[in-house]
Structure 1
């Protein structure tokens, strides 16, 4: 363990009571740590994205240099090993119409899952760049984007992606902005 790492015990896990294991709808959970993290140059807070008025409002398309997917998942399809350090890949955040097109047109690559409810899901990832992707073990990791205020905002929580990973198609994320009420209601001091 390096001097920059912090280790915690988990004292509580709160999973969404309406999580659907077949569709991955409401794929979100909260964990309570045994103690507060020490904020420093290696550990910092990220804001939660604000909710959009409705699905007809065009979602922002952030350039790939502004957003990142983070996780400890597999670093290749050829390996069954998971990363022992946090990895990140530059990512894009796709408008809802593209998310629907990607997942419907290639639904077999997504294990038959697709995005049909824009209130709860978004797509993000590295489209058309095979090999740069989230992978097995990254689920639960964030899609964070830096906004014009130079702050990072969590827009998504990785739910599912293509099988195998690295096919140049975006992953599907639980949309944090639409889960803010659930998050606030289920946070405990």
Structure 2
């Protein structure tokens, strides 16, 4: 499954710099059990983890609240997560953590319609 995260956050260790370009990164969905081990049991089924096992691509400071979108088998792109947190940025074995939209879709539909 192809997923992309976008944001205006930190890219080169300059968290307070003014961004003039929206950044994007292709990230694979990570296995939740392994992610939970990396984060010492803090990961729940209300979350999605995404990132490269070797690090190097991730959401970062300033990206919180941004979208994680994935292209599903019907070739359409769907919002599946919202940037939440991580251990620094793009570190090996510490994927980014996202709020799992599917766990909140009923609440969203009731309160936003």
TM-score range, shorter chain: 0.7 to 0.9
**Structure 2 gap ranges (5+):** none
Q: 1:98-177 to 2 correspondence within 5 Å?
A: 98-104=34-40, 114-115=42-43, 117-118=44-45, 120-130=46-56, 132-163=57-88, 165-168=89-92, 169-177=94-102
TM-score when normalising by structure 2: 0.87
Contact 1:69 1:125 in 2 (8 A): no
Q: 1:43-54 to 2 correspondence within 5 Å?
A: none
Pair 79,73 (structure 1): closer, same or farther in 2 beyond 3 Å: closer
Q: Deviations 1:89-143 (Å, cap 9, x if unpaired)?
A: 01011222122122128xxxxxxxx21x21x11111233133x221111001111
Higher-Rg member (1/2)? 1
2:10 to 74, 91, 94: 74
Pair 185,136 (structure 1): closer, same or farther in 2 beyond 3 Å: same
Q: Once the 2 structures are TM-superposed, how far is the Cα of residue 79 of structure 1 from its aligned partner? A: 4.8
CA RMSD of superposed structures (Å)? 1.7
The CA distance in 2 between the partners of 1:98 and 1:177, in whole Å, is 21
Match of 1:182 in 2: 107
> What number of residue pairs does the alignment pair up?
112
The CA distance in 2 between the partners of 1:69 and 1:82, in whole Å, is 19
SS of the residue corresponding to residue 33 of structure 2 reads: helix
Pair 158,101 (structure 1): closer, same or farther in 2 beyond 3 Å: same
Instruction: Point out which structure has higher relative CO (alpha carbons under 8 A, 6+ apart).
Output: 2
TM-score when normalising by structure 1: 0.54
